[in-house]
Structures are given as structure tokens and as C-alpha cells.
């Protein structure tokens, strides 16, 4: 949540900052702002709303500065307006700062600054005002670093900061704890950013700033220290990604592109798991005895990642006969979970940054559990905390709604289940080759045209209902989340057998119910649910690979056929496409749904 950037070099800094921010807008888009150092004076430009508003504001302004910092915000403390937008500046105009994270003790720190008139309602401003108090016009670089370290030691919470000091125009300072921060190393120029996509058009040489590190960049130099000001080595890594991978290409939105990349995410993830012999280093003893494992496996995640976990729990229990518990990370962290040294905890997170998932992982570690992370960002905090990491290779996911990362997560989970089964001589209904076999089917098929005549009707509704049984229930839960999230249509998923226990009360002639039916052994039961719905006069859209069921509903979407157990890889696509098409129909930007941001780094 929130993206920050910094640039120092020879180019026109406002242009570069805007380009950097464009690729971080997925982290928040309530407001945007930049601070430039114009000949020893800090100039701030901010705007409410999308980055484009800031661009329009500064379009005809000509800055000579070659160093600056920028920010795109997802509001936590204080309304999303210009006043609360970052950068913030100290009362004496000496220090400007952008921040990603949360300052938990900001109220207490404010007591130190009774004589300062605060301008914003943010938690961040207290940091810049403290720095403004300690850094004077006479402060040299060393003194500035000392004051930044001093303030960092005072803060409780998480942060990545980029900081400018008026009388030092040739330096940008930074510090990090808990929120992501990377340095891009260029020739005669250097960068700061919250994430790699921002930097790709400029450089592939990256330094990952670690928690408890701070430092300074100039056009020629990068210096990293710990908070005791002991200098650290610069470890530069070459990132194997091209700028095209974070550009739209022929697509109009990232969500559309990323849905289409689902098959690539599957293939790439599985290929890596096999080529890298991912499970080679896992603690095999933990997974060896199913009777011991039973009730000792815990899956923890949020949102879409949790839906991937729900599916995995179902398949693991059904195929390997081993009990799995599952929790929202936000619940797990406060419920005194029943875990101990024998437990295996699996944390699923696309970003690897989600605050609740991180806190749950830390708790599980404290209890002695063996912690496995499934994440799309190998360098994330979750990766660094886990005992074992299963990386997904979906590529950078930019749209706020997760699509290809979900497909990559279920691929990794299916591979893990296959590994557990092999280790325990358990015969299951699929193997990796079968999953590879599904890749082309997913790639070559799309339901976009099949939805065509239905979208308008769906978009007139305030609520849409989804129904499924078995794995289909977990898939429709994800379908409902996607639809809610980007089209703002209230959507709910019901387990087929549960309808008559309450939710059937909602079904009338006006209702549209989308039923997913991909499991042969659940056909009859699901047909019962359809009958119950149709009897109440509702419209049913049935999605299934069983063509002979075509006339069981008013509308039918035929899925390509693969083994029942692998149908989730196919069936998720039309659900994602439905959400996308509804957002388009309603003229909404599916990449940037209101009130949301990609990485939820706050509680």
C-alpha cells in the first residue's frame, strides 16, 4: 500500500518521477505527489486522485531539479485529499519525506513537537517534523544520517522512507523497516522504489534494502548503513525481467492481460518447481507420515490467496486423506492457534507483503511450527521469514484484482499435494504431466464471447449469486470476490446444499444465479440446487463441461473438458472474465477498483 520513488541523476526529475510512479500506481491511487530540490529549495506538487491529475497540474511547469522523491497513496490515516498527500515537509522547509507503512506511535511522538503546527492528519507528518527539528541548515551528511537513525529508533510500526534535505540537493536519504524498498543502480543516476516494475525501464540492477538499513544515494554513489551507522556492502542483483512484462502491450488493461496469462503462470510455475527441484530441500520428515500430519497442517492467507488455500485443503483432504485447518490470516493471528513444533503452516501470498499474513507467520514461528510460504515475490518479507519458500512464477501482477497469481498458487499447491502423495505412496488422480496437459486448453479457450449477451443483464443487478459444490464452491467464492471487487456488484457464493438453509430466501424472479458444475460425482446434487432456484423463478447461468446438461438452465456456458480434479484450472477463467467484462460494461477501470490497493501492508 502506497508506492514511493526517488531519483537523482542528470534527467529532468519530474518526468522520471512520473514514469516511476506510473508503474507503482497499483499500490494506491488516492493521491500522488512529488518533491523536488530546486537549487536548495524544496518544492512540493501534489494532487488528489489518480497520478494523471498530478501530471496535468505540473504539465507546463519547468523544473531544473535533478533530484526528487514521489509517492502514490492509499489512505490509512487521514482522508484521501491533497493536504494528506505525500510528500510531507517540515515546518521549517528543511526536510521533505515520503513514506510507505504505518507509524503506530505517532500520537505519542507528536507530544515531542508541541510547538509545531501540523498540516495533515497523517501518521507520517510526525516523522518529517521530528527530522525538521533535529536537522539544521548546518547539518552535514553524517549528522543527517544520525538524525534519521535517531528518529527510526523512536518509531513503532513499519516504514520505508525517502527523504530530501533542502541544503543537500545532491543526495536522497532512505531508511527501511517492514515495508519494501529497493535501489535501482544506473550510470550517473540512481533510483529508489517500492517495487521492481517501477525501475525496469531504467535499470535491471537492483539492491534490496533490508529491514534496519538506511543510507543515501547520489548520482554516482550508493551508501548503505545499519541504524548504528556501520556501513554495509552493496549487493547488486540483476533482475531477469523486461520492461514489456510490466507494460500493457496489446491489452487495454492489466487485468485482461493477466487473465490471459493464467496459462503461462501455470506452466512457468510448474516448470520451475520441476527444474529447480523445489521440493528437494523441503524438510521431508515433516511431510512423510500422513497420520502424524493429520490435523497438523494449517493454511493461512487473505482474500484470493485464501481461496486458493480452500481449494488446496479440499484436494489434500480428499486425495491424501489428511486433515487441514484453514484460517483468514486476520483471524489466525488473534485466535491462539493450536499449533506447535509438529505443525506445518502454509502461508499463501502473492505480494509476500500482506500485514496479517506476515503477523500470522511470525506467530507460527514463535510456536515452533515449520513455515512454508507460497509467494510470487521471492524477495518479499514473507519469503525471508519462512522456513521454506515455494515461489510462484506468474510474473509481476499489476492489476489490483489477483488473477494469474491465483492460478499460479493453485498450481504450486497441486504440485505440493502431488509431492506429499508420492512421499507417502498414495495414489492420487493427477500428476504434473496432467497439469502441463491442461495449459494449452486454458490458453486456447476464452469465455468472453459466451458471456457477451448476458453481461448487460448482469450489470443491471445489485446482487448476483453464485452456487457450487465441492471444489466448485471454492471457485465460485473466488468468482464472487472478483465480481464484487471490480464491478461493485454485490456478489455472494453459496454452497449448493446450503441454499435451503437460508439463502434461498433471496431468490426470486429478479435474481440471476451463476452455477458452476465441474464434478461428475456432484451432478445430481447440483441439479437439485438448480431446480430449487428455477422453481423460484430466477435465471440460472450454468457453467459446465457436461454438454448434455445444456437445457437444465436458461443459459449455458460450455467449458473445455479436462480431468475433473483439474477443472479448477479451466473453470476459474470464465469467472475472472465475467468480472472483467462487467467492469468494462460499467465503464470502470478494472485495474484500479475504488478503495482498494494491491498490497495490504496495514492491518
151 vs 582, which CB is nearer to ligand F6R? 582
373 CB-contact burial (10 Å; exposed 0-12 / middle 13-18 / buried 19+)? buried
175 vs 310, which CB is nearer to ligand F6R? 310
Degrees (nearest 5) of the Cα angle 508, 512, 514?
130
Q: Is 354 in the site for ligand F6R (CB under 6 A)?
A: yes
Span from 71-79, 93-101, 128-136, 347-355 in contact with ligand F6R (CB under 6 A): 347-355
Rounded Cα distance between 95 and 87, Å, is: 10
Among 349, 383, 545, 601, binds ligand F6R (CB under 6 A): 349
For residue 159, the minimal CB distance to ligand F6R (Å) is 19
Rounded Cα distance between 554 and 511, Å, is: 13
* Residue number, nearest CB to ligand F6R: 303
DSSP state of 113: G
β partners of residue 45: 34
User: Could you tell me the sign of the dihedral formed by the alpha carbons of 535, 536, 537, 539, in that order?
Assistant: negative
Number of residues interacting with ligand F6R: please give it, by CB under 6 A.
15
84 vs 357, which CB is nearer to ligand F6R? 357
Q: What does the CA dihedral 112, 113, 118, 122 come to, rounded to 10 degrees?
A: -20
The footprint of ligand F6R on residues 211-230 (CB under 6 A) is: none
330 vs 545, which CB is nearer to ligand F6R? 330
Among 357, 392, 487, 544, binds ligand F6R (CB under 6 A): 357
The footprint of ligand F6R on residues 105-164 (CB under 6 A) is: none
- In three-state secondary structure terms, 9 is coil
For residue 526, the minimal CB distance to ligand F6R (Å) is 26
Rounded Cα distance between 13 and 60, Å, is: 14
Q: Is 185 in the site for ligand F6R (CB under 6 A)?
A: no
8 vs 305, which CB is nearer to ligand F6R? 305
214 vs 401, which CB is nearer to ligand F6R? 401
For residue 400, the minimal CB distance to ligand F6R (Å) is 6
Among 350, 360, 539, 545, binds ligand F6R (CB under 6 A): 350
Q: Which residues contact 500 (CB under 8 A, 6 or more apart)?
A: 532
For residue 349, the minimal CB distance to ligand F6R (Å) is 3
Q: Choose, from 133, 171, 482, 598, the residue flagged as catalytic.
A: 598
For residue 121, the minimal CB distance to ligand F6R (Å) is 25
The enclosing H or E element of 182 equals strand 182-185
For residue 209, the minimal CB distance to ligand F6R (Å) is 20
For residue 17, the minimal CB distance to ligand F6R (Å) is 26
* b/e map 305-332, b = 16+ CB within 10 Å: bbbbbbbbbbbbeebbebebbbbbbbeb
Pairing status of strand 213-217 against strand 172-177 = antiparallel
482 to 347, 377, 522, 535, 544: CA distances (angstroms): 21, 22, 25, 28, 19
Looking at the chain, the number of H-run helices and the number of E-run strands are 20, 25
598 a catalytic residue? yes
Rounded Cα distance between 554 and 97, Å, is: 58
The footprint of ligand F6R on residues 504-543 (CB under 6 A) is: none
Pairing status of strand 297-301 against strand 324-328 = parallel
Q: Is 351 in the site for ligand F6R (CB under 6 A)?
A: yes
Rounded Cα distance between 414 and 419, Å, is: 9
The footprint of ligand F6R on residues 15-34 (CB under 6 A) is: none
β-sheet with 41-48: strand ranges across:
41-48, 31-38, 67-73, 3-8, 190-193, 182-185, 205-208, 237-238
261 vs 357, which CB is nearer to ligand F6R? 357
For residue 573, the minimal CB distance to ligand F6R (Å) is 15
The footprint of ligand F6R on residues 468-507 (CB under 6 A) is: 481, 485
Span from 6-14, 278-286, 349-357, 365-373 in contact with ligand F6R (CB under 6 A): 349-357
β-sheet with 157-165: strand ranges across:
88-89, 95-103, 157-165, 172-177, 213-217, 222-226, 231-232
Q: Choose, from 2, 302, 345, 552, the residue flagged as catalytic.
A: 2
Residue 545 grid cell? 463441461
The footprint of ligand F6R on residues 280-319 (CB under 6 A) is: 302-305
Q: Is 600 in the site for ligand F6R (CB under 6 A)?
A: yes
Cis, bond preceding 174 (omega within 30 deg of 0): no
The residue behind cell 445489485 is 462
Rounded Cα distance between 472 and 518, Å, is: 7
Q: What does the CA dihedral 250, 255, 257, 260 come to, rounded to 10 degrees?
A: -140
Q: Which residues contact 52 (CB under 8 A, 6 or more apart)?
A: none
Span from 195-203, 343-351, 383-391, 454-462 in contact with ligand F6R (CB under 6 A): 343-351
304 vs 411, which CB is nearer to ligand F6R? 304
Span from 242-250, 310-318, 351-359, 556-564 in contact with ligand F6R (CB under 6 A): 351-359
For residue 596, the minimal CB distance to ligand F6R (Å) is 8
397 vs 418, which CB is nearer to ligand F6R? 397
**Cβ(549)–Cβ(517) below 8 Å:** yes
267 CB-contact burial (10 Å; exposed 0-12 / middle 13-18 / buried 19+)? buried
For residue 481, the minimal CB distance to ligand F6R (Å) is 6
Residue 94 grid cell? 528543511
For residue 102, the minimal CB distance to ligand F6R (Å) is 16
Q: Is 14 in the site for ligand F6R (CB under 6 A)?
A: no
46 vs 381, which CB is nearer to ligand F6R? 381
194 vs 350, which CB is nearer to ligand F6R? 350
Residues 394-433, one symbol each (x = binds ligand F6R by CB under 6 A, - = not), give -------xx-------------------------------
Q: Is 47 in the site for ligand F6R (CB under 6 A)?
A: no
Residues annotated as catalytic are 2, 598
Which residues of the chain form contacts with ligand F6R (CB under 6 A)?
A: 302-305, 349-351, 354, 357, 401-402, 481, 485, 599-600
Amino acid at each position: 500500500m502506497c508506492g514511493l520513488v526517488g531519483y537523482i541523476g542528470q534527467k529532468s526529475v519530474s518526468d522520471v518521477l512520473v514514469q516511476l510512479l506510473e508503474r507503482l500506481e497499483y499500490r494506491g491511487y488516492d493521491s500522488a505527489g512529488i518533491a523536488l530540490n530546486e537549487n536548495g529549495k524544496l518544492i512540493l506538487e501534489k494532487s488528489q486522485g489518480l497520478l494523471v491529475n498530478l501530471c496535468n497540474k505540473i504539465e507546463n511547469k519547468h523544473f531544473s531539479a535533478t533530484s526528487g522523491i514521489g509517492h502514490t497513496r492509499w489512505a490509512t490515516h487521514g482522508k484521501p485529499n491533497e493536504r494528506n498527500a505525500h510528500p510531507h515537509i517540515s515546518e521549517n522547509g528543511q526536510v521533505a519525506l515520503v513514506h510507505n507503512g504505518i507509524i503506530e506511535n505517532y500520537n505519542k511522538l507528536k507530544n515531542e513537537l508541541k510547538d509545531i503546527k501540523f498540516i495533515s492528519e497523517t501518521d507520517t507528518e510526525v516523522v518529517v517534523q521530528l527530522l525538521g527539528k533535529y536537522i539544521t541548515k548546518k547539518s552535514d551528511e553524517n549528522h543527517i544520517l544520525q538524525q534519521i537513525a535517531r528518529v527510526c529508533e523512536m518509531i513503532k510500526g513499519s516504514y520505508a522512507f525517502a527523504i530530501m534535505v533542502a541544503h543537500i540537493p545532491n543526495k536522497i536519504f532512505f531508511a527501511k523497516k517492514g515495508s519494501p524498498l529497493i535501489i535501482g543502480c544506473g550510470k550517473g543516476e540512481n533510483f529508489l522504489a517500492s517495487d521492481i516494475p517501477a525501475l525496469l525501464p531504467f535499470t535491471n540492477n537492483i539492491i534490496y534494502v533490508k529491514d534496519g538499513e538506511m543510507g543515501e544515494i547520489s548520482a554516482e554513489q550508493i551508501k548503505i548503513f545499519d541504524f548504528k551507522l556501520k556501513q554495509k556492502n552493496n549487493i547488486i542483483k540483476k533482475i531477469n525481467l523486461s520492461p514489456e512484462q510490466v507494460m500493457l502491450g496489446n491489452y487495454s488493461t492489466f487485468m485482461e492481460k493477466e487473465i490471459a496469462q493464467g496459462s503461462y503462470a501455470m506452466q512457468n510455475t510448474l516448470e520451475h518447481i520441476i527444474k529447480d527441484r523445489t521440493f528437494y530441500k523441503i524438510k521431508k520428515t515433516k511431510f512423510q507420515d500422513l497420520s502424524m500430519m493429520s490435523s497438523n497442517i494449517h493454511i493461512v492467507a487473505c482474500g484470493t490467496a485464501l481461496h486458493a488455500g480452500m481449494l488446496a485443503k479440499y484436494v489434500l483432504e480428499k486425495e491424501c486423506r489428511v486433515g487441514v485447518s484453514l484460517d483468514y490470516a486476520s483471524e489466525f493471528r488473534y485466535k491462539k492457534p493450536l499449533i506447535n513444533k509438529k505443525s506445518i503452516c502454509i502461508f499463501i501470498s502473492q505480494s509476500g507483503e500482506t500485514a496479517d499474513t506476515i503477523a500470522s507467520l511470525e506467530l507460527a514461528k514463535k510456536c515452533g511450527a515449520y513455515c512454508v510460504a507460497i509467494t510470487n515475490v521471492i524477495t518479499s518479507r514473507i519469503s525471508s521469514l519462512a522456513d521454506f519458500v515455494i515461489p510462484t512464477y506468474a510474473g509481476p501482477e499489476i492489476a489490483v484484482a489477483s488473477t494469474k497469481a491465483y492460478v499460479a498458487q493453485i498450481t504450486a499447491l497441486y504440485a505440493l499435494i502431488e509431492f506429499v502423495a508420492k512421499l507417502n505412496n498414495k495414489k492420487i488422480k493427477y500428476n504434473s504431466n496432467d497439469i502441463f496437459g491442461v495449459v494449452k486448453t486454458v490458453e486456447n479457450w476464452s469465455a468472453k464471447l459466451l458471456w457477451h449477451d448476458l453481461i448487460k443483464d448482469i450489470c443491471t443487478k445489485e446482487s448476483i449469486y453464485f452456487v457450487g459444490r465441492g471444489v466448485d464452491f471454492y471457485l465460485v467464492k473466488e468468482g464472487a470476490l472478483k465480481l464484487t471487487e471490480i464491478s461493485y456488484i454485490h456478489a455472494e457464493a453459496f454452497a449448493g446444499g446450503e441454499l435451503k438453509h437460508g439463502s434461498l430466501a433471496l431468490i426470486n424472479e429478479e435474481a440471476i444465479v451463476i452455477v458452476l458444475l465441474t464434478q461428475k460425482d456432484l451432478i445430481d446434487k447440483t441439479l437439485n440446487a438448480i431446480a430449487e432456484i428455477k422453481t423460484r423463478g430466477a435465471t440460472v447461468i450454468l457453467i459446465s463441461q457436461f454438454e448434455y446438461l445444456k437445457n437444465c438452465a436458461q443459459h449455458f456456458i460450455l467449458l473445455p473438458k479436462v480431468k475433473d480434479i483439474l477443472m479448477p484450472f479451466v473453470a476459474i477463467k470464465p469467472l475472472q472474465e465475467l468480472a472483467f467484462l462487467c467492469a468494462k460494461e460499467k465503464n470502470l477501470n478494472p485495474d484500479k477498483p475504488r478503495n482498494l490497493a494491491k498490497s495490504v501492508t496495514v492491518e
